[in-house]
Structure 1
Amino acid sequence: MKSTRRKFITTTAALAAGTVTASAISLKEQKEEWPIVHHVFFWLKNPGSVEDRDKLVAGVKTLAKIETVRKLRVGIVASTEKRDVVDNSWAVSELMFFSDLAGQATYQTHPIHLEFIKNCSHLWEKVIVYDAQDA
């Protein structure tokens, strides 16, 4: 019985250590590969329209085709706890990662991005952009 318990604890500890190590390596690699972050928040002209929100989400997802976009995440407001520090007034967000500033600049003038603006800008009332780079 002691041998089985000891083996279980040893195996569990090894798995936990492996998971932590793999997560740390993954985060480190991501930081080194994609140090430029482009985070955009959109407010809809018709905030209650799920159809408009879904059209905007679909439009944002087309931006993943741009070759300099390393990773794209598209989000809508989460139903998290309401707190003073949480701004949930927006409708759709995009979070993009780039390898470098040149890649982000290419994205800005890319035909797919310009087409997205042409096709979807009628849906939003306000846009705020936060660009950051690894410190």
Structure 2
Amino acid sequence: MKNTSRRNFIEKSLQVATAGTALTVMTQSNSEAAVPKALPIFSHHVFFWLKDSKDKKAYDQLLAGLKGLGKIEQIKQAHIGKASINDFDKPVTDASYTFSVLLLFASKEDEEKYLVHPLHKKFIEDHKHLWSKVVVYDSIAL
């Protein structure tokens, strides 16, 4: 086993703890220990309601379209989810939507590029007839 210093151990532990997330990076100067630093992450959270929630074909079509958005290079991470009515028993939880899409970007500017990207515009054009309502929540990390 390789001999490691306490500093190296802490650095590696922090890297492992943050692996797979684009939310932190390690910074280090010659005189400072590694400190997690938040990246300027911009989140774009979109909720979709199908016109007919029982229409399997529309459901599958919208899901395929949402998955296709992942090809857009500005997206750093994506999560597509659906409401799980059995798991939402809290009175403050809204489970009326069909799909939830959470997209993470390195910056607001990247999100703005995504909004005008040809694949995003095509997604809207090809699928807007399927939904009755769309709600968007955008936020920037503190």
TM category (shorter chain) comes to: 0.7 to 0.9
Corresponding residue to 1:55 among 55, 61, 65: 61
Work out which structure has the larger RCO, using CA pairs closer than 8 Å and 6 or more positions apart in sequence.
1
Establish whether residue 30 from structure 1 lines up as the match of residue 23 from structure 2.
Answer: yes
Aligned 1:1-135 pairs, distance under 5 A: 22-23=16-17, 25-26=18-19, 29-31=22-24, 32-33=38-39, 35-78=41-84, 79-135=86-142
Structure 1 or 2: larger helix share? 1
Aligned to 1:10: none
Deviations 1:14-69 (A, max 9, x none): xxxxxx8533x348752434610000000110012232112111101111111101
Q: Which runs of 5+ in 1 are unaligned?
A: 1-19
Report sequence identity in percent.
33
Distance 1:77 1:93 in 2: 8
- Give the TM-score of the pair, scaled to structure 2: 0.73
- Give the TM-score of the pair, scaled to structure 1: 0.77
Q: Which runs of 5+ in 2 are unaligned?
A: 1-12, 25-37
CA RMSD in angstroms comes to 2.1
